[in-house]
Amino acid sequence: MLATSLTSHALVYIQHGYSVIATDEHKRPAVESWKIYQEQKPSEQLITQMFSNYRAKGVAVICGSVSGNLEVIDIDSKHDRSGTLFEDFMQALHDTDAQLASKLLIAKTLNGGYHIYSRCEQVAGNQKLASRPTTTEEQKDNPHHKVVVLIETRGEGGYVVAEPSTGYKFMNGNPRNCPLITVAERETLLEIARSFNQYYEKPFQHTPEEKATNKKYTLSPFEDYNQKVDIKALLESHGWTVVGENSEKIIFKRPGNTTSKSSGNFNKRLGWFSVFTTSSAFETDKAYQPYAVYAMLECDGDFKLAAKKLLDAGYGVRDISITNKAKKPITQHEQLKNNYKQQLTIARFWEVNPKNFMVTIVQHKLEKFLSEQGGFFLYFYNPNSKIFKLIRNKNGIIEEASREQIKKFIKGYVLDLPEYFDGIHKTDLQEAVYRGDSHYFRDSFYEFLQSMHIDFLKDTEEIAYFPFNNGVVCVTKEGYQLHSYEELGKSIWRSQITDHNILLYNNANPIDIGSIDYYQFIKKICAEDTERIEYCMAITGYLLHKYKDPAKPYCIILGEDTEDDRRGGGSGKGIFITAISKLLNSEQIDGKNFKVDKNFAFQRVKLDTRLIAIQDVRKNVDFEGFYSIITEGITIEKKNKDELFIPYADSPKIIFTTNYVIPNVSDTAKRRQRIVEFSSFFNARHTPLDYFGHRLFDDWSPEQWNMFYNFMFACVQQYLISGIPERFASINTKNKQIRNSYGEEFLSWWEDYIEDSIDKPKMFGDLYNQFLAMSELERREYSQKRFKKALEESASITGYYFISRRNKQSGGKIEVILSKKVIEK
């Protein structure tokens, strides 16, 4: 019903010269790319297809030339603290041009705001017209949020959600009534909107000239002028007129023809002049101090000329000591004298021979310099081992370092030194460093650096940490909070910091989980089965929780819920791993030819790696060969380096992806495996790109990233609360295990056998002969020994107890029983 209504309205908009697109419930485009519709209107066929998409919840009108030069003024009432912004705007417009006010097309919006539609031969891109500073209360939730927009336009490159979308309704007519206004009328609308602006950039300053000019005076002519000027007289002398004044502001109207009641004002308390007209020498939305007003009006923006004219007029006091100082080239002696104070703070790792001024690098000083000035240290992962890592510590942020970094640091330090010091030029020191390259930039030298004990921030059994640019998110059973790095007082690997300013959602700022693309992805790979979704979220939480519980040495296996291996692939396993990797340092390894016992198998793994993803493992992989790295730890061996063993507690978690099944018949394998079965919703013919209309993680807005991260935190919280729930493999996966191990013929026989054999004793010899007859195999092709093993392991895979015993009544022949309960032999 909704799709039909949206489609019919969209076709009406097209008929009246508008271009439209479908939007989702969050007002985002529900099409793969909407930019094409900024240039051409969609056809009727495309309209029908567009609004048939499950994501289509609303219709949006595209502004600009494609819709007949449509421009919409958006008045956002939810941020209006007065409660009368729209009424005040319309009253000001009516007082200025009542005829214009009466002919505008106006729509009410979902959040109580208003859209004012018009067409004009001249339109521009999206513009912010009026804003206000955020309140102290608003900044508690987001300290970096300094301003909120009250009024803005939507023009070229913009769109507005429109009727019949939920909450949107035209107040006076329909799209046919959109007025065509003149350029002058459009400017009136914009000027009135700008008059409601409450936020300005810092006072306009001509920074380079002003700072340079001020150094010449004991009292700047600009500062003096600001204190003494009559701003009304200055502006009136240039044709501006005073149209109102109160205790806070003086309101001015610009010179020339204009229908506007006012064009700018002077804030008495702040000492700022600002305009909301584009027809003057001043920029809109900028604040001008009086001296800047003088420079713009009297000197065409030449601040150097303004300073001279104001000084001549008696403003400011010139610094005579600078004026009378002789101007002559500085000598080398003077340069050395001027740099004296700076030289006192130089950290020297060299000595200079006073006789011949030869520079020598002193090794023990260089070692001290690299640690104290550069933060370079040795880090012994295992205090009892001689194996170390060269690291760099910057205020508790740790990263693995290299000789190239040390070279770059030393070079940068030398280049920042004064030209002359210690009787030498800094290039002399550079040459000394270059001469010692083979000696001071080798591993044997670094072994003498100071060692450092690092107290790393580590997940515990009850808490998980996720570092971001603006703090660390701490997730517990109770929820998640953002803490500063200073509060936690621990060190952290730089590579573990996610490059994003995180915003947490809470009861006051809730999140709609249905709007998260990645949650929709999880639903689809789990066939929208509630239990599977909860299981998948718990697995996600387990992987993201960096604590390694000795009782849970799991290997996560991403498989596919298909009975035929050949139909696998493209189900979304790569996206799942990418999502985890957005919060964990991971290393991905091609599993097709991977051998766990091969030299340098894990050479790309680092100390801060928290996940190893072995992708597309081959059929019948030797899972038992991975037991040690899953339960004990991992050995990192790199060419020409000593091998390093990382014990279980600090080692990465392991994840496999495969189109096949990985053997898990033994109890040991079963304990270690946790299988996530991906449905066939996504495949080579129906990809996530086809479904979502865009690639996941690509071009996400900060809000979309925040929603994604908050969902992942919720997964961790769920895991901390409940762990990983019990989940049995699907019948498809069980059948694949049987087929891969014992053949298609046995699987076909087995499926018939278990239908009528539960708890019914059968003679083993009879079963074997039945199997050979059905499969048309010879005894030499399928031995009794293999057949018995197939029975035992297939029973284990499908959850049955398998009993084999001798039947005395049949002369001691072997009988077998398949049961859901334990039976004594």
Better-predicted residue by pLDDT, 126 or 796 = 126
Closest CA to 193 of 153, 151, 156: 151
How high is the pLDDT of residue 652? 92
Q: How far is CA 692 from CA 124, 519, 728, in A?
A: 31, 12, 30
Integer Cα distance of 59 and 404 in angstroms: 55
Say what the pLDDT of residue 335 is: 47
Query: Residue 471 — φ and ψ, nearest 5°?
Result: 145, -175
d(CA 615, CA 590): 5
736 CB-side CA count, 13 A = 25
Tokens of 246: 């109160």
Mean pLDDT of 376-392: 78
* Digit-coded pLDDT (tens) for 720-751: 999 988 766 667 777 777 777 788 888 888 88
Q: How far is CA 451 from CA 9, 391, 776, in A?
A: 71, 10, 71
Torsion (CA) 684, 735, 611, 386 in degrees, nearest 10: -140
SS (H, E, C) 390-413: EEEEECCEEEECCHHHHHHHHHHH
The reported pLDDT for the residue numbered 211 is 44
Q: What is the pLDDT of residue 248?
A: 81
What tokens were used for 523?
A: 């639903």
What pLDDT is attached to residue 794?
82
Nearest to 258 by CA among 246, 245, 274, 275: 275
Q: What pLDDT shows up at residue 201?
A: 62
Question: What would the pLDDT profile of 206-246 be if each residue is shown by its tens digit?
Answer: 544 444 444 456 677 888 888 888 888 899 888 889 988 88
**Exposed (0-12), middle (13-18) or buried (19+): which is 354, by Cβ within 10 Å?**
exposed
DSSP letters, 149-196, are EEEEEE-BT-EEEETTSTT-EESS--GGGPPEE-HHHHHHHHHHHHTT
Q: What is the dihedral of CA 496, 145, 201, 186, to 10 degrees?
A: 120
Q: Are 617 and 591 in contact (CB under 8 A)?
A: yes
Residue 333: per-residue pLDDT: 47
* Structural tokens at position 516: 């998260």
Overall fold of domain 513-722: Rossmann fold (3.40.50)
3-state secondary structure of 510: coil
Tell me how far CA of residue 232 lies from CA of 241, 244, 295, 574, 657, in angstroms.
8, 12, 15, 68, 75
Would you say 174 and 15 are in contact if contact means Cβ atoms under 8 Å apart? no
Q: In this structure, are residues 531 and 518 in contact, taking their beta carbons and an 8 Å threshold?
A: no
Over 50: is that where the pLDDT of 320 sits?
Answer: no
**Cis bond leading into 164, ω under 30°?**
yes
Interval 328-374: pLDDT, tens? 444 444 544 454 444 557 889 999 998 888 999 998 899 999 998 99
CA angle, 563 then 567 then 571, to 5° = 100
In a 3-state reduction of DSSP, which class is residue 98? helix
Q: Give the position of tokens 């493999």.
A: 729
pLDDT in tens, 57-104: 999 999 999 999 999 999 998 888 888 999 999 998 998 888 999 999
- Number of H-type helices and E-type strands within the chain: 30, 39
Q: Report, in angstroms and rounded to the nearest whole number, the Rg of the chain calculated over CA atoms.
A: 37
What is the Cα–Cα distance from 532 to 676, expressed in whole angstroms?
9
Contact 710, 473 (CB under 8 A): no
State the Cα–Cα distance between residues 329 and 418, nearest whole angstrom.
17
Query: Looking at residue 312, what is its pLDDT?
Result: 79
pLDDT of residue 263: 83
Place of tokens 């370079």: 376
Domain locations along the chain:
2-194, 201-321, 332-446, 513-722, 731-819
From the candidate CATH numbers 2.40.70, 3.20.20, 2.20.28, 1.10.10, the one assigned to the domain spanning 731-819: 1.10.10
Which CATH number does 201-321 carry?
3.90.580
Q: Pairing relation of β-strands 286-288 and 201-204?
A: parallel
Instruction: Give the model confidence (pLDDT) of 589-603 as tens digits.
Output: 887 777 777 777 788
**pLDDT above 80: residue 462:** yes
Residue 770, SS3? Answer: helix
Tell me the C-alpha to C-alpha distance, in Å, between residue 814 and each of 292, 762, 805, 819, 824: 105, 9, 5, 16, 15
Q: How far apart are CA 286 and CA 308, in angstroms?
A: 25
pLDDT of residue 321: 47
Average per-residue pLDDT in the chain? 83
Q: How confident is the model at residue 180 (pLDDT cuts 50, 70, 90)?
A: very high
2-194: what fold?
Prim-pol fold (3.30.2250)
The CA distances from residue 71 to 93, 172, 700, in Å, are 17, 17, 26
492-493 sheet: strands from edge to edge: 376-379, 389-394, 397-400, 492-493
Between the alpha carbon of residue 501 and those of residues 23, 402, 573, the distances in Å are 27, 29, 28
Q: What is the mean pLDDT of residues 102-114?
A: 93
Tell me the per-residue pLDDT of 633-654, one tens digit each, with 9 for 90 and over.
888 877 666 677 888 888 899 9
- Helix (H/G/I), strand (E/B), else coil: 130: strand
Write down the pTM of the prediction.
0.51
pLDDT of residue 323: 42
**Residue 532 φ then ψ, to 5°:** -65, -40
